[in-house]
Structure 1
Amino acid sequence: MTTPHRPRNPRGHGKRLRTEILTAATELLDTGGDERTVTLRAVACRVGIAPPSIYPHFLDQSAIMLAVVRQSFAELTHRLRAAAAAVVDPRQRLHALCRAYLEYAQKYPQRYRVMFGDLWHPVVDGGVTPDEVTTMGAEAMRLLVDSLAACVASGHSASRDPAVDAIALWLGLHGLAHQRAVASWYPWPADIAQRVAIPLARLVNAR
């Protein structure tokens, strides 16, 4: 198969090619079904370069996948931050965060799955430490903890440890996101996100 011709980047524009490689890999992941479709040859073909042109930017396929994971965590965090900023009421802000989290997982199921490891795992295949993976999602978790703490302060939550209960809430959201992905045919209740969030976040009526 002939590689499509792509104009050479002007000197000093190497970062543009790196961005194009990452974009191509993400598109292949989104449309290809899973990370096995993200090969160096497939990425190069989509960008319009020869496979060796990838090496100055990414050493191998695992390096590309790790960059996709890092970018996906950044995108998720951006969406959560925007959702939190748009709501004043603490209880409604927490619900908005939960919805934004689930919406991201539903819109980008392949990205979401690879973020938390499946066929490709950042620790096993990407060569990063568990602490580094935790750091990628640290700001997203902080937003959840801060939102739950605000609910406690305003009398909307009976939580005595927002940091721990936020982890329980995340596990509930993660489980729901996964089940929605593998059983999209199931008639999920329209308020299922609230049914998960309310008990795990220990939400109560405002005093």
Structure 2
Amino acid sequence: MKDTGSVAQAAPAKQVRARARNPRGEGGRLREEIIDAAAELLDETGDQHAVTLRSVARRVGIATPSIYPHFPDQPAIMLAVVRREFAALERTLSAAVERAGDSPRRRLLAVCETYLDFAGRHPQRYRTMFGGLWTPAPGDGSLTETDLVMLGADSMLVLVDVLTECVAAGAITSTDVSADATALWVGLHGLAHQRVVSPSFPWPEDIPERVIIPLAHLTTI
């Protein structure tokens, strides 16, 4: 994935904002501002090609070379955005589990509903996380296989954990939690993706339940 150094035509023009120099020892703040700028560009354009070193630097209000101490290239910035969004997803799912109380069934449904809500509230970032806008591969700039293989693992673990609790409580009939967690995620992802790309489709109100209940092997009790 090569950074052309130019802003994609889809990206709206935005005036460079003046930026004060960070005090010594606060370089981490600039790193976060770079990630923020990349995420904003994705939200506004839905185009990974709008995220270039030059467009990000312009959004932050710095010279392009100021990015290099924090990120070696554009793929590294994209990876940082995706990692941060997956961390946000994991926190959001975990919080939903806690709010749902002690019922394993309610906890499972809360995770699934929260996942779909997250995708709907952050459509461009969600698509970037799961390959809809960004399809990275080892060898793209500074990216390695290790960088990519564990993306989303913590979020999947939340789903596996609530399914395991449901098995113990007799709320689902799964005999292979890991495989069923994968199948349920595929179903949720498919629904989430299609809702993003087909917003005018007449989705049935109970479509989440029609996906979740059979794929999770939920009992009727």
TM superposition score normalised by structure 2? 0.87
Task: Find the counterpart in structure 1 of residue 202 from structure 2.
Answer: 187
**How do 1:164-203 residues align onto structure 2 when only pairs under 5 Å count?**
164-203=179-218
Task: Find the counterpart in structure 2 of residue 9 from structure 1.
Answer: 22
Aligned counterpart for 1:60 among listed residues 73, 77, 82? 73
Whether the 8 Å contact between 1:83 and 1:97 is mirrored in structure 2 is: yes
Structure 1 alignment gaps of length 5 or more: none
1:121 lines up with 2:150 in the alignment: no
1:107 lines up with 2:121 in the alignment: yes
Classify the secondary structure of the residue corresponding to 2:150: helix
Query: In the TM superposition, what is the alpha-carbon distance from 1:2 to its structure 2 partner?
Result: 8.0
Give runs of ≥4 in structure 1 deviating > 6 Å: none
Relative to 1, partners in 2 of residues 1:48 and 1:193: Cα closer, same or farther, differing over 3 Å? same
Task: Find the counterpart in structure 2 of residue 50 from structure 1.
Answer: 63
Tell me the distance in 2 between the aligned counterparts of 1:195 and 1:172: 10
Relative to 1, partners in 2 of residues 1:170 and 1:7: Cα closer, same or farther, differing over 3 Å? same
Tell me the distance in 2 between the aligned counterparts of 1:13 and 1:195: 49
**How do 1:32-43 residues align onto structure 2 when only pairs under 5 Å count?**
32-43=45-56
Task: Find the counterpart in structure 1 of residue 156 from structure 2.
Answer: 141
Query: In the TM superposition, what is the alpha-carbon distance from 1:119 to its structure 2 partner?
Result: 4.4
Per-residue Cα deviation, 1:144-186 (whole angstroms, up to 9, x for no partner): 1111111111111011111111110000001111111111101
Superposition RMSD on alpha carbons, in Å? 1.7
Task: Find the counterpart in structure 1 of residue 111 from structure 2.
Answer: 97
Whether the 8 Å contact between 1:3 and 1:50 is mirrored in structure 2 is: no
The one-letter amino acid of 1:191's match is: D
Of residues 89-98 and 117-126 in structure 1, the stretch that sits farther from structure 2 once superposed is 117-126
The percentage of aligned residue pairs carrying the same residue is 57
Whether the 8 Å contact between 2:19 and 2:60 is mirrored in structure 1 is: yes
Per-residue Cα deviation, 1:12-53 (whole angstroms, up to 9, x for no partner): 111111111111111111112221111111111111111111
Classify the secondary structure of the residue corresponding to 1:120: coil
Relative to 1, partners in 2 of residues 1:4 and 1:140: Cα closer, same or farther, differing over 3 Å? closer
Alignment coverage as a number of residue pairs = 205
Query: In the TM superposition, what is the alpha-carbon distance from 1:3 to its structure 2 partner?
Result: 4.6
Whether the 8 Å contact between 1:122 and 1:128 is mirrored in structure 2 is: no
1:22 lines up with 2:35 in the alignment: yes
Query: In the TM superposition, what is the alpha-carbon distance from 1:189 to its structure 2 partner?
Result: 1.3
Structure 2 alignment gaps of length 5 or more: 1-13
Relative to 1, partners in 2 of residues 1:102 and 1:134: Cα closer, same or farther, differing over 3 Å? farther
Tell me the distance in 2 between the aligned counterparts of 1:101 and 1:133: 21
